[in-house]
Amino acid sequence: MAPVSADPRPDWVLARRAAIGHHIACLRAARGMSIDDLAEAAGVDRKTVIRAEGATVSTGLDLLLMIAAGLGVSAGQLLDGAPPRT
């Protein structure tokens, strides 16, 4: 199997990143949290949450773990993309 190039990112990676960002936003909204609320709960700044939700940058594992904790879900649930429970 040939290695996958990291630059530029394949379209499927960008699409999955966007889906995860959308899922973060949906989970946040379902919990009645503002961007600032999630940023505080996750221990990051608001711009980081905005970037994660907008999928404008690659989000590292540490940040995904912090956001998941701030939302009260597992990292697996965050990455799953299943509809949020309200």
Has residue 1 been placed in a domain?
no
Parent domain of 45:
11-77
- In 3D space, the residue among 66, 73, 32, 30 whose CA is nearest the CA of residue 49 turns out to be 66
Query: Is the pLDDT assigned to residue 74 strictly greater than 60?
Result: yes
Between 38 and 16, residue with greater pLDDT:
38
Residues in contact with 52: Cβ distance below 8 Å, sequence separation at least 6, in sequence order: 21, 24, 59, 63, 64, 67
Query: Is the pLDDT assigned to residue 48 strictly greater than 60?
Result: yes
Over residues 3-17, the mean pLDDT reads 77
What is the pLDDT confidence band of residue 66, given thresholds at 50, 70 and 90? very high
Overall number of domains in the chain: 1
Has residue 86 been placed in a domain?
no
